Amino acid sequence: MTDRCLNLCALLLAASLFCFASASSASAASPHLILVVGDSVTAGYGLPPEQSFPAVLQTMLLQSGHDVEVVNAGVSGDTTADGLARLPKLFPPHSRHRPNLLILQLGANDGIQGRDLAQVEANLDAMLALARGQGAQVLLAGSHGGSRRSDEYRRAFADIYRRLAYKHGAGLYPVLGAGILGNPEYLQQDGAHPNEAGARLIARNLYPLVVELLGRSQP
């Protein structure tokens, strides 16, 4: 991951935080800040920004009366190690407006690359611990580790997310690509990334979990 990508994510979050701070003088309560950290699926690879699933999710939440701001911190190609390296900058230590909810969508690229399962789990564990330590709720979007891996590897990969969700009291959507991967109706021509319909399906699938977790957090 390049420094440019890292700096861009930090700037996006800083801009959102600045807006919240400016608005706080006019409102007693600030909007809930939802940070989505992920790979190309979160970034909206191949789609206009407004069609990425974080953007669609924000629209759904606003339309249903939830006062939120969703920050898309997806970077194409990111692994769990990349996410761990940049996550501290996305949780400003002295800000009163740190994210209330982290949606963590990482691991698919680790599985594609056949990364060591223990290291993948350690990376995700550290990210959840950081977010929970900052008082944020977490929604963990899981992966099965890639279609080219053995059944044993895929099962073990999916089990990582279940263990960590239980350990940290996080919400869990077990496999983000469920119902999408292998279904041309929801995929771009590369067969790997969601199209507009696929991104909307992801947003709809995550929506009830996000609403539940927002109820546990304080703006």
- Domain coordinates of the chain in residue numbers? 3-214
Q: pLDDT value at position 7?
A: 52
Locus of tokens 């994510």: 9
- In the residue annotation, 66 being an active-site residue is answered as no
Q: pLDDT value at position 19?
A: 47
Is 76 exposed, middle or buried (CB count within 10 Å of its CB: 0-12, 13-18, 19+)?
middle
Q: pLDDT value at position 92?
A: 81
- In the residue annotation, 125 being an active-site residue is answered as no
Question: Mean pLDDT by 10-residue block, N- to C-terminus, for the chain (219 residues)?
Answer: 51 49 48 96 97 98 97 98 96 80 97 95 98 96 86 94 98 94 95 96 98 85
Contact 217, 32 (CB under 8 A): yes
Is 72 exposed, middle or buried (CB count within 10 Å of its CB: 0-12, 13-18, 19+)?
buried
Give, rounded to a whole angstrom, the gap between the first and last alpha carbons of the chain: 31
Q: Which of 97, 144, 168, 193 is catalytic?
A: 193
Q: Which of 40, 82, 143, 144 is catalytic?
A: 40
E-assigned strands of 51-161? Answer: 68-74, 101-105, 137-141
Q: Which residues contact 88 (CB under 8 A, 6 or more apart)?
A: 130
User: What is 3-214's CATH superfamily?
Assistant: SGNH hydrolase (3.40.50.1110)
Q: Provide the whole-model pTM.
A: 0.86
Helical axes 117-133 vs 80-90, angle rounded to 10°: 10
- In the residue annotation, 144 being an active-site residue is answered as no
Q: Which of 3, 116, 151, 190 is catalytic?
A: 190
Residue in 56, 96, 95 with CA at minimum distance from that of residue 72: 56
What gap in Å lies between CA 199 and CA 218, rounded to an integer?
Answer: 28
Q: pLDDT value at position 30?
A: 79
Residue in 101, 34, 41 with CA at minimum distance from that of residue 75: 41
Half-sphere CA count of 7, side-chain side, radius 13 A: 3
Residue 172 phi, psi (nearest 5): -140, 125
Type of residue numbered 19? C
Q: Which residues contact 136 (CB under 8 A, 6 or more apart)?
A: 35, 91, 98, 99, 100, 101, 102, 217
